[in-house]
Amino acid sequence: MGHTMAEKILAKASGKKQLSPGDLVNARIDMALGNDITAPVAIQEFNKIGVDTVFDRERIALIPDHFTPNKDIQTAQQVKIMREFARHFNIEHYYEVGRMGIEHALLPELGLVLPGEVVIGADSHTCTYGALGAFATGVGSTDLAAVMATGELWFKVPPTIRIVFEGVKRPEVTGKDLILYTIGQLGVDGARYCALEFTGPVIRRLDMDGRFTIANMAIEAGGKVGLIAPDQVTLEYLQGRSKRPFTPVESDEDAPVQQEYRWDVSTLEPQVAAPFSPANVKPVSQLAGTPIDQVVIGSCTNGRIEDLRQAAALLQGKRVHPRVRLIVIPATQAIYLQAMREGLLEIFVEAQAAVSTPTCGPCLGGHMGILAEGEVSLATTNRNFVGRMGHPKSSVYLSSPAVAAASAVAGVIVHPGEVGEVK
Amino acid sequence: MSTIRGKVWTFGDDIDTDAIIPARYLTTTDMAELAAHLMEDADPSFPQKVSPGDLIVAGKNFGCGSSREHAPLALKGAGISCVIAESFARIFYRNAINIGLPILESAEAAAALQEGEVVEIDLQKGVIQDSSGRRYTAVPFPPFMQEIIARGGLINYVREKVKQGE
Ligand code: SF4
């Protein structure tokens, strides 16, 4: 009987011949990540362990991205703790303002997370790297501390839920719509403790940016990882980026899975998650006409170049609705530069959008676009819990960049087709 | 001390980490400061109402959302002696074990326990007894996790492992 990707990757990393769901293993970690919220706690815990060196200074990434450029004294202090730790242990992958990006966009861009690897991050959206076929999962700060000291961490081998997207999707349907639809079907705990594996012809034809968006939100269904088997698209993306040799892993055809869903998405519409749950998902037509105060295009879910291209295509030659504030946040410096070279930033500014330096910013209600009482935002981010983007009585709808850009022009939630053509 | 006695506060399903401690307070790692805002978006008066030793009883998927360890830290800072839930989100579960915040998974207890009642818990055995004397048994932890719990969390566990390795 065959094995799933999740089982195979964990088996290799823990020196086991084969594993089954439920087995507890100690796995070697290929890359460990912390950010300006989680790393300070991890550093505090690391210091209690009593080691005088980190397990590998090239396999730790510390990325200040949540409250940076620092919004106040407290957040500046937090980043200072990281910076000093990074300098002290000569951590290779510490990226300062001006060189940084949102962690889950930055690490793949730099070739620091690779197929077949085990990656942990003290951030729940670490599952993003599953798009490259890495067993990548979010943990807490204490876990990160243990890994920084020992290079190992315990895992329970998860059962796999396989999602097969069939048919040919419409051009205005993106990776975001596929994952929102999935979360709507599974619910916020439908994949709790499970590995999600996405496959089928629609995935095979999807570009890397769309795949990152899908894997990114596996956690919103409770998933431990969101895996996509590496293929030609993956290998092309890694060309010239990968910092280490790697071995792609895929599931055996006959690997037993806990559950399989097959969805023909040929007639699927763009999807929107309404407040206050990422599983409260409806086709955009059902929410059309909902007034909005702010639109945010960015985050580790949808701040990549393809996202910005889709948004710019709809905003070109148009103006953001006078009642709406549009904030565009390229996820990394490289994406920012690329968007500048392609003229996308000019389109945004001419449309009267604010373009920000890379940061998590409003995604978690940190800074750069906080909502007041009663305000409504449409965002390409990943969570719309109560108070997520500001006041406890504000609300957030989640969508693709295409829906977000079109709605910014219309002033209400609309199908992107109402504003322009999506290619 | 493995016996806990405390008053119950009840919450529903899918209590996310933004509800436990909103991101706007993640600019500190101080447990007491975090505790001052515990659950405030779900119930603004909660930080004032809760007393050390109290318990939280919730539905399914408690602690879903972000990986912030500030969530179990805020609970610990407020003196919450145990969280009982029908189920826990994965990262929250890890974090609670790692920092030594007692948690118990029991669908029966989560459904039956009422706000305000005083319950008694034998942590070692995972047995919860309500005010009328009814008993509920929580899902046992795997032996490996029991070892982490017994040593007071992951850091102590790793520290000892590192020492042995020397
Ligand atoms: S962009 Fe949002 S979800 Fe992504 S890492 Fe930053 S705060 Fe978290």
Provide the pLDDT for residue A374.
98
> Residue B155: CA atoms inside 13 Å, Cβ hemisphere, count?
20
Assess whether pLDDT exceeds 70 at residue B133: yes
Task: State whether A192 and B61 contact (CB < 8 Å).
Answer: yes
Burial environment of residue A52 by CB neighbours within 10 A (0 to 12, 13 to 18, 19 or more): exposed
Output the CATH code of domain A271-418: 3.30.499.10
Q: Which of B66, B144, B151, B163 to mutate to test the interface with A (most CBs of A within 10 A)?
A: B66
Cross-chain CB nearest to A24 (options B69, B94, B144): B144
Give the model's pLDDT for residue B45.
Answer: 95
Strand partners, A61: A33, A93
Q: What is the CATH number of domain A5-262?
A: 3.30.499.10
Torsion, Cα A360 A361 A362 A368, to 10 degrees, reads -160
Task: Check if A363 has its Cβ closer than 6 Å to any atom of ligand 1.
Answer: yes
Contact A106, A100 (CB under 8 A): yes
Distance CA A131, CA A120 (A): 14
Q: Tens of pLDDT along B83-125?
A: 999 999 999 999 999 999 999 999 999 999 999 999 999 988 9
| Residue B119 tokens, joined | 């319950």
State whether residue B133 sits within 8 Å of chain A by CB: no
Residue with the bigger pLDDT between A366 and B149: it is A366
Pocket test for ligand 1, best of A35, A66, A103, A297 (most atoms within 8 A of CB): A66
Helix runs in A50-196, H state only? 73-88, 103-109, 141-150, 175-186
Do B26 and A224 count as a contact with CB atoms less than 8 A apart? no
Tens of pLDDT, residues A327-369: 999 999 999 999 999 999 999 999 999 999 999 999 999 999 9
Residue range A169-227, pLDDT digits in tens: 999 999 999 999 999 999 999 999 999 999 999 999 999 999 999 999 999 999 999 99
What is the number of CB-based contacts under 8 A between chain A and chain B?
134
Q: Is residue A135 within 8 Å of A246, Cβ to Cβ?
A: no
**Residues A26, A195: Cα–Cα separation, whole Å:** 18
Question: Quick check: pTM over 0.95?
Answer: yes
Mutate to test the pocket of ligand 1, among A179, A299, A370, A381 (most ligand atoms within 8 A of CB): A299
Q: Which one-letter DSSP state was computed for residue A188?
A: T
- Measured between its terminal Cα atoms, the distance across chain A in Å is 43
Residue A369 and residue A383 in contact, taking contact as beta carbons nearer than 8 Å: no
In the stretch 43-72 of chain B, residues with CB closer than 8 A to chain A read 44, 60-61, 64-70, 72
pLDDT, position B166: 57
Intrachain domains A5-262 and A271-418 with the same fold? yes
The pLDDT confidence band at residue A86, using thresholds 50, 70 and 90, is: very high
Whether the CA torsion B62, B66, B71, B73 is positive or negative: it is positive
Locate B161 and state its tokens.
Answer: 């492992």
Say yes or no to pLDDT of B165 above 90: no
Instruction: Output the pLDDT for position A408.
Output: 98
- Domain coordinates of chain A in residue numbers? 5-262, 271-418
Asked if B89's CB is within 8 angstroms of A24's CB, the reply is no
Better-predicted residue by pLDDT, B1 or A85: A85
Question: What's chain A's average pLDDT?
Answer: 97
